A = this chain, B = another copy of it.
Amino acid sequence: MKIIILGGDGFCGWPTTLKLSSENHEILIIDSFVRRDIDKELGIKSVTPISSLKDRLDSWYKLSGKKINYLKFDIAIDYDSLLKAFNAFKPDVIIHFAEQRAAPYSMKSSWHKRYTINNNINATNNVLAAIVEIKLDAHLVHLGTMGVYGYKTPDIEIPEGYLNVKIQKENEYHDLEILYPSDPGSIYHLSKAQDQLLFSYYNKNDGVRITDLHQGIVWGIQTKETLIDEKLINRFDYDGDFGTVLNRFIVQSVLNYPLTVHGNGGQTRAFININDCVECINLAVKNPPGTNERVKIMNQMTETHKIIDLAKLISNKTGVKIEKVENPRNENAENELDVSNKNFIDLGLKQTKLDETLINEISIISEKYKERIDKNKIPCKSKWR
């Protein structure tokens, strides 16, 4: 198939690109490299030394014989280039990673709130408007977040996107299926809840075929393909804005820096390994919704853990102590979380559960590039209020 990957240079986008290329799809990447610019803004860099996209793609071509092209522009701003790219490449599938993806970054300041909403909503709306404008029969796969559901929700297993409810009218109850009521916990999560409304509308009005993947917190760094050569290495964030919690704990333990838990660590979150993330997208590409089918929503996660339990796991393994710090987020101190991921199980996903071998691999990578880590960038300084 012909696949456009929006944001194909990023943490999930890059390993997805290699995976789908290795499956012999023809890939075009569109990326503005804004994530690399943000590294400069925040004075951070990936623990792993990532090559330029050009070098990444040249190396992949040498190693695999597979040619991938890319275009550099910002899809949230440059609609004409997007339209031109869609028209020229005629993709069967468009995978949309091209959004600002960090909750703490979205809460840093008024500017960051405004950037995140403006960038994410216009990026998504531009993609949808372009598909409709040129009557492109493409399947749009979007990376959403588990965070649209929120964590103050009732004590039920979180379904995949839609919720059955009963509504009272006089003495009768009517059944109704609704989009799960969103309760986003940050401006970033809010932007994804707003995206859901865009998808729902363009699907209803224009019949756009869409899969929205509500992803958990990703852990791990490398995938089968990014491991082939150092030139293909994936990025690895450890800082307070872009680092994800388990990866951060591992970096902290390598530096013998206390494992910083926000509040009492009673927050339960959904997780997925980077290898499964890439495989889920592969499965989503292979299993598009049919014509006239509503937006297909799947929960892209494999397990749930309390943050404190992950900290204890790493602490017991490494001897590095846990430090409870004031929670910068505005959230419940504790929550339970039970999530359905039946769709991906039914599609055949072999789940990679939290595993000592993979954690060791992350430690080895952190150790290897230790001198690239700046301890001052570890704390999360972005406050919700």
A residues adjacent to B (C-beta < 8 A): 79, 110, 113-114, 117-118, 121-122, 125-126, 129-130, 132-133, 154-156, 163-169, 173-174, 176, 178-179, 181-182, 184, 187, 190, 193-194, 197-198, 201, 204-206, 330, 384-385
Q: Could you list 10 A-B pairs, sorted by A, with CB under 8 Å?
A: A79-B114, A114-B122, A114-B129, A117-B122, A118-B121, A155-B169, A165-B178, A166-B168, A178-B181, A197-B197
Instruction: Verify B181–A181 contact, CB threshold 8 A.
Output: yes
User: Do A164 and B168 form a contact, CB below 8 Å, given A125-B113, A205-B384?
Assistant: yes
Cβ–Cβ contact B330 & A205, under 8 A:
yes
Nearest Cβ distance between residue A384 and chain B, in whole angstroms?
Answer: 6
- Give the 7 A-B CB pairs with smallest separation, nearest first: A165-B165, A110-B133, A178-B181, A166-B166, A194-B194, A110-B129, A156-B169
Nearest residue, chain B, Cβ from A107: B205
Q: Are A184 and B165 neighbours in the complex by a CB distance under 8 Å?
A: no
A68 to B29, CA, bound (A): 53
CA distance A126 to B176 in the complex (A): 35
In the complex, how many angstroms separate the beta carbon of A114 from the nearest chain B beta carbon?
6
Q: Which B residues lie within 8 Å of A113 (CB)?
A: 125, 129
* Least Cβ–Cβ distance between A360 and chain B, in angstroms: 39
Closest to A181 in B: B178
Instruction: Evaluate whether A197 and B205 lie within 8 angstroms (CB atoms) in the complex, with A125-B117, A165-B166 already known.
Output: no
- Whether the pair A110, B132 counts as a contact (CB closer than 8 A) is yes
- Given A125-B114, A132-B110, A155-B169 in contact, is the A198-B205 Cβ separation under 8 Å? no
Q: Which residues of B contact A184 (CB under 8 A)?
A: 197, 201
Q: How far is the CA of A226 from the CA of B190 in the complex (A)?
A: 40
Give every chain B residue within 8 A of A155 (Cβ-Cβ): 169, 174
Q: Per a CB cutoff under 8 Å, which of B126, B156, B164, B330 touches A114?
A: B126
Q: How far is the CA of A114 from the CA of B194 in the complex (A)?
A: 15
Q: CB distance A121 to B117 under 8 Å?
A: yes
Q: Nearest chain B CB to A124's CB is how many angstroms away?
A: 9
Q: Across the interface, which residues of B come within 8 angstroms of A205, CB to CB?
A: 330, 384-385
A123 to chain B minimum Cβ distance, whole angstroms, is 11
CB distance from A126 to the nearest CB of B (A): 6
Point out the residues of chain B lying under 8 angstroms from A168, CB to CB. 164, 166
Question: Closest Cβ of chain B: how far from A156's Cβ, in Å?
Answer: 5
B residues in contact with A163, CB < 8 Å: 167
Q: Please, which residues of chain B bring their CB within 8 A of the CB of A193? A: 197
Q: CA separation between A335 and B205, bound complex, in Å? A: 18
CB distance from A137 to the nearest CB of B (A): 15
Assembly CA distance A190 to B195 (angstroms): 11
- In angstroms, how far is the closest chain B Cβ from the Cβ of A213? 20
Is A181 a contact of B182 with CB atoms below 8 Å? no
Q: Which residues of B contact A194 (CB under 8 A)?
A: 121, 194, 197-198
